Amino acid sequence: MTEIGSDVQRAARILKSGGIVAVPTETVYGLAANAFDEKAVTKIFKAKNRPAFDPLIVHVADDASLASVAAEIPEAAHKLRRHFGPGPLTLVLPKTAQVPDLVTSGLPHVAVRTPNHPAAAELLGMLTFPLAAPSANPFGYVSPVTAAHVAAQLGGSIDYILDGGRCTVGIESTIVAFTDRPKILRLGGLSQEAIEAVIGPVEVAAESSANPAAPGMLTAHYATKKPLVIGHIPTLLKAHNERSPAVLGFTSNYGTAGEILSKSGDPDEAARNLFAAMRRLDESNAGIILAEFLPESGLGRAVNDRLRRAGADRKL
Ligand code: AMP
Ligand code: MG
């Protein structure tokens, strides 16, 4: 079984010798390898069973390291980094030749961010290379927000799990592409409103896209093993009464077995609780998960996106 610990030096040694390590960030746990080492990066794809057409996010310590992977940084991208970096903001920028095609799935652009987590920052500071790191879960499943979540699914197939506690944002980063006009490819831990307050109106990519060049955008993703349906919960409870339903509610569990994402109706808190709640329901003896959307603003939009994808292909 893979060891879980808080030894940052050990994580650094493993990464320097071409191994793969689960690393805590403020968004979700990542599965990291030296982004400049193709052999090491291949191990990530293998451990996650991730298709080669799904590119990885590269994590950099600072602007100097950013310059080693991004060939060009438009002013609006700089502006966003100044406001929100380090943080749950990933920028898609033209890549340098040093970034292997494997990392970007052959795209001429690289997705890059600086995480805002003390252990991740310390680790990146010890290394002379950036870290390629997608979420540390089997491809398509719910992302991990604790070291135990990583161990439950990838324990045994990775070299070390660096424990940095529970992720404080709890959903993946927001990805903004600068391949043309700025465009949000994936809603995440930084709200559209916050981004627009800095660089003005930004288009959001069509969310039903199954375009593999676009991040976490495969229609069925973040999915539980159990079927998950979304709608008006009292109605769904009646309809699925026979199937031992469990509720994934925003501010209430409707008096049944289930999870409440935020009693006070705070979408940030709901985002933080979402994946752990989904995992608990998936492990419970419920036959079906009944979920409801949050109001479409702030991180509510990103939570709804995850729910929609978790429910995709399961219109029951
Ligand atoms: P994950 O951390 O598992 O959510 O994976 C990172 C996400 O970022 C993936 O779903 C990728 O599709 C997306 N991504 C990474 N690199 C690029 C890129 N160059 N262009 C567009 N999306 C990207
Ligand atoms: Mg992922």
Q: What residue segments make up the domains of the chain, in order of their start? A: 4-204, 228-310
Q: Ligand 2 center to residue 221 CA distance, Å? A: 8
Q: Does the pLDDT at position 112 exceed 90?
A: yes
* pTM recorded for the entire structure: 0.94
Atom 23 of ligand 1, residue of closest alpha carbon? 215
Q: Burial level of 170, CB count in 10 A (0-12/13-18/19+)?
A: buried
Answer yes or no: is the C-beta of 134 below 6 A from any ligand 1 atom: yes
CATH number of 4-204: 3.90.870.10
Mutate to test the pocket of ligand 1, among 41, 56, 91, 305 (most ligand atoms within 8 A of CB): 56
Q: Give per-residue pLDDT as tens, 207-221.
A: 544 444 444 556 677
Answer yes or no: is the C-beta of 215 below 6 A from any ligand 1 atom: yes
Q: Other C-beta atoms within 10 Å of 97: how many? A: 6
Answer yes or no: is the C-beta of 55 below 6 A from any ligand 1 atom: yes
230 Cβ contact partners less than 8 Å away, ≥ 6 residues apart: 290, 291, 292, 293, 307, 308, 311
CATH number of 228-310: 3.40.50.11030
| The CA-based dihedral angle spanning residues 2, 34, 224, 150, taken in that order and rounded to the nearest 10 degrees | 20
Q: Give per-residue pLDDT as tens, 224-275.
A: 999 999 999 999 999 999 999 999 999 999 999 899 999 999 999 999 999 9
**Mean pLDDT (whole number) for 166-181:** 96
